[in-house]
Structure 1
Amino acid sequence: METEPLALDAKVIQALSGVSTATLTTVLLKKGLRNVWLRGTRPLTPDQPRLVGRAFTLRFVPAREDLATPASWGSPISTRAAIEAMPAGCIAVVGALGVTDAGIFGDILCARMKTRGVAGLVTDGVVRDLAGVLGTGLPVWCQGTAAPPSVAGLTFVGWQEPIACGGVAVFPNDVIVVDADGAVLIPAALLDDVIAAALEQERLESWIMSQVEAGMPLPGLYPPNEANTARYRAWAKANDTRG
């Protein structure tokens, strides 16, 4: 059963747009979640922006010759139909089994996603038509490129259902944050707690960096001991602009 896509509050996007995926993995680790970084999700170009959005999931399984055919592209269950269900602002997360010799999307599909306002594409697979994909301006995180089409190695079976992508379980409407280090998943149910902890972690690490730049040694600073924790709290209180 397909899950209805949900919008993501603009305040959530604004808050997480200032938080690195490195910080998020640390925060989630402290909450007991170790497997949240989607392996193989590398930025297709080095200048892609950090993105935040709800996961719109798509799922491939291994190719089966009677199903993985060019004719399947016109099926009601196809990547083309899935794209027409994508809401503006979502991040398309595609489970492609780590297959690297069949491109899941090319320039025309990426152009349609861009036109629909999709924020970006994240996959543990690869794309094709590199020059055309780059020309669409759609930010893509993947394992690279390959010339053959998806049906050369994969069968598309559905969207907006739980998938595996990069070894991580991704459910529709989980929150995805992507930057130069790849894609990190935040379970939808933990979103508020993670945001609060992540903003504090970023603030603490910013203060620690200022101390390092001032010449302080790392032992007792990173992580901070009791004395440095007190110093940080005093600094945070004096510089609190949150009202």
Structure 2
Amino acid sequence: MTNTPTLPLDPRAIEILSRVTTATLTTLLLKKGLRNVWLRGARPLRAGQPRLVGRAFTLRFVPAREDLATPESWSSPISTRAAIEDMPAGCIAVVDAMGVSDAGIFGDILCARMHKRGVAALVSDGVVRDQAGVLATGLPVWCNGAAAPPSVAGLTFVAWQQPIACGGVAVFPNDVIVVDDDGAVLIPAALLDEMLLLAPEQERLEAWIMSEVENGAALPGLYPPNAENKARYEAQKPG
């Protein structure tokens, strides 16, 4: 299987989605019938990281096999090192580590190189190593924690820019990832344009509902709004 080229993401899409919470996106995607879009185990390594948006650049590990998962494999043409050199600026690296929590997929040196290449973030259902060093690189990371052993202690790297499963979610190259303090959410590439239309309006509506709650309004008929409250919202919203 050949690797999928990474498509650019319109700066306007980044601008719009960087103002939309992952919670709002999961609700909108649920309304479209997509229930499984939140990547389990991908938590912010540092609290307060900015909300980020980018195309998914995928990497895949399988269970360690002793003849393949060796320190020598780090020099192979199929290696995390080679994959990092293919990462374009602005992408979000999404790593399928099968939820393995006792082998760090990347450490400080690899994360430093990703940061230097302009990678927006690293997202994984696995763990990193050299946590203090990773944090010092400035690369925003969402993962399942930290562990000292290297990746080859429990994993074999096999491919990049192919479909993966990360945190129980199917991720294809060029899907869009949004990350914030609530975790990582996938927007299928085919639904991006629709989300760009729906998400800002949903945020405006929820801000109006919040203002109504702060003014003492009861929830029934307000959240979600009934016809009367929808009409009030439409009459009051700007523009």
Common fold: TM-score over 0.5: yes
Q: How many residues align?
A: 238
Q: TM-score, normalised by structure 2?
A: 0.99
SS of 1:37's partner is coil
What CA distance in whole angstroms lies between the structure 2 residues aligned with 1:10 and 1:97? 32
Unaligned runs of 5+ in 2: none
What CA distance in whole angstroms lies between the structure 2 residues aligned with 1:228 and 1:90? 40
Unaligned runs of 5+ in 1: none
Pairing 1:49–2:53 present: no
What is the Cα deviation at residue 198 of structure 1?
1.0
Q: Hey, what does 1:153 align to over in structure 2?
A: 154
Pairing 1:106–2:90 present: no
SS of 1:48's partner is coil
What is the Cα deviation at residue 194 of structure 1?
1.3
What letter matches 1:39 in structure 2?
R
What CA distance in whole angstroms lies between the structure 1 residues aligned with 2:33 and 2:195? 12
SS of 1:52's partner is strand
Deviation readout 1:76-119 (Å, 9 max, x if unpaired): 00000000000000000000000000000000000000000000
What CA distance in whole angstroms lies between the structure 2 residues aligned with 1:7 and 1:111? 22
What is the Cα deviation at residue 199 of structure 1?
1.1
What is the Cα deviation at residue 123 of structure 1?
0.1
What CA distance in whole angstroms lies between the structure 1 residues aligned with 2:195 and 2:14? 13
Pairing 1:3–2:12 present: no
Q: How does 1:64-213 map to 2 (within 5 A)?
A: 64-213=65-214
What CA distance in whole angstroms lies between the structure 2 residues aligned with 1:107 and 1:161? 25
Q: Hey, what does 2:34 align to over in structure 1?
A: 33
What is the Cα deviation at residue 32 of structure 1?
0.5
Q: Hey, what does 1:216 align to over in structure 2?
A: 217
Q: Hey, what does 2:229 align to over in structure 1?
A: 228
What CA distance in whole angstroms lies between the structure 1 residues aligned with 2:96 and 2:236? 45
What CA distance in whole angstroms lies between the structure 2 residues aligned with 1:196 and 1:30? 14
Q: Hey, what does 2:13 align to over in structure 1?
A: 12
What is the Cα deviation at residue 180 of structure 1?
0.2
Q: How much is the aligned-residue C-alpha RMSD, in angstroms? A: 0.5
What CA distance in whole angstroms lies between the structure 2 residues aligned with 1:200 and 1:96? 36
Q: TM-score, normalised by structure 1?
A: 0.97
What CA distance in whole angstroms lies between the structure 2 residues aligned with 1:191 and 1:20? 15
What is the Cα deviation at residue 183 of structure 1?
0.3
SS of 1:209's partner is helix
What CA distance in whole angstroms lies between the structure 2 residues aligned with 1:161 and 1:180? 27
Deviation readout 1:129-159 (Å, 9 max, x if unpaired): 0111011000000000000000000000010
What CA distance in whole angstroms lies between the structure 2 residues aligned with 1:64 and 1:196? 46
